[in-house]
Amino acid sequence: MKRKYLFLITIFGIILLATTWYYFIPVQTTEYEAMFHVEGPGTAGFDVTTENLYFGIVPINGYTTKYLELENNEKRMKVVIAAKGDIAEHISVSDNDFFLEPFEQKNVTFTASGKNADIGTYKGIVHVYFYRPFFN
C-alpha cells in the first residue's frame, strides 16, 4: 500500500516539474545593454545605435525614448520585460506582460528619465522574456 502511494506521489511530482518547466521557463530570452548619461539642464544628446538601448545624454528632469520592435514567428507567446542594474529605476516601458500573437509585430517604447537622478552614467540590462502562455 505504501509503495502505491509513493508511486503516485512520484508521478505527480514528475508531472508538476514538467508543467513548471514547460510554462514557467522562458522559451527565449533576449538581452539588451541599456545606458544613459544624466547631465545638467540645457544639455541634450542622442545615440542612433539600434543593437542596444543606448539613450545618450538625458538632462536632469528630462527624458528620452527608444523603440524596440518585437516580432513573433511562432505560436502565441507571453512577453515580459524586466530591467536590471542601476538603470532599472530610471527606465520605463510602454507595454509589459502582454501576449504576442503568431506573426505579430509590436513596437515597445522605452523611456529613460533624468527625473530624481544624479548627474552620472546609468547602466543595466533589459531582458525580454518569451513564455508559452499558461492559458490561451
**122 or 13, which is more confident:** 122
- Asked if residue 17 is part of any domain, the answer here is no
Q: Look up the CATH number of the domain holding residue 114.
A: 2.60.40
Q: How does residue 98 score in pLDDT terms, banded at 50, 70 and 90?
A: very high
- Asked if residue 81 is part of any domain, the answer here is yes
Q: Has this prediction a pTM greater than 0.75?
A: yes
- Asked if residue 7 is part of any domain, the answer here is no
Using CA atoms, how far apart are residues 59 and 62, in angstroms rounded to an integer? 5
- Asked if residue 14 is part of any domain, the answer here is no
Total domain count, the chain: 1
Q: Tell me, what's the pLDDT at 44?
A: 63
The per-residue pLDDT for range 48-80, each reduced to its tens digit, is 666 789 998 888 888 889 999 999 888 899 999
Q: Tell me, what's the pLDDT at 4?
A: 81
- Asked if residue 2 is part of any domain, the answer here is no
- Asked if residue 77 is part of any domain, the answer here is yes
User: What is the mean pLDDT of the segment spanning 124-133?
Assistant: 93
- Asked if residue 70 is part of any domain, the answer here is yes
Q: Tell me, what's the pLDDT at 134?
A: 74
E strands within the chain?
A: 28-39, 53-59, 63-71, 77-85, 91-93, 98-100, 105-113, 120-131
**6 pLDDT more than 70:** yes
Segment (H or E) for 2? helix 2-24
* Residue-number span of the structural domain to which 93 is assigned: 27-131
The per-residue pLDDT for range 8-27, each reduced to its tens digit, is 888 888 877 777 767 778 88
- Asked if residue 6 is part of any domain, the answer here is no
